[in-house]
């Protein structure tokens, strides 16, 4: 559905800040996205503990990734379409050129 949302927001010059990198690739302007590799590592550690009998699913706490494991992404094409200038010193990955 992101492509539909982006079609409407971008046509109306409304910046759409999204929840993760793929939404940005599909027309969102920018995101501070979680790193799926890190999320997968955390899930694997929890699953392994359960499979080894070291933990029970019902006792396993929800885990969160640190902000340091998130990355900024900006869709350069959308920024240009919206007339938004991206600072050259911004620590972000430019996508959607």
Confidence class for position 34, pLDDT limits 50, 70, 90: confident
- Asked if 47 and 61 count as a contact pair (C-beta separation under 8 A), the reply is no
Q: pLDDT value at position 36?
A: 83
User: What confidence category does residue 52 fall into, taking pLDDT thresholds of 50, 70 and 90?
Assistant: very high
Distance CA 71, CA 21 (A): 9
- pLDDT tens by residue, 58-84: 999 998 888 888 889 999 999 999 999
For residues 67 and 87, which has the higher predicted lDDT (pLDDT)?
Answer: 87
- Enumerate domains of the chain plus CATH numbers: 1-33+71-97 (3.40.50.2300), 35-69 (no CATH)
Taking the C-alpha atoms of residue 94 and residue 97, their distance in angstroms, rounded to an integer, is 8
């Amino acid at each position: 559905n992101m492509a539909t949302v982006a079609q409407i927001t971008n046509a109306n010059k409304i910046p759409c800040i999204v929840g993760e990198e793929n939404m940005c690739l599909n027309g969102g302007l920018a995101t501070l996205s979680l790193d799926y590799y890190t999320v997968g590592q955390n899930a694997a550690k929890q699953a392994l503990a359960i499979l080894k009998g070291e933990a029970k699913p019902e006792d396993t706490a929800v885990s969160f990734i640190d902000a340091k494991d998130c990355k900024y992404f900006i869709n350069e094409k959308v920024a240009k379409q919206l007339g938004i200038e991206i600072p050259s010193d911004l620590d972000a990955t430019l996508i959607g050129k």
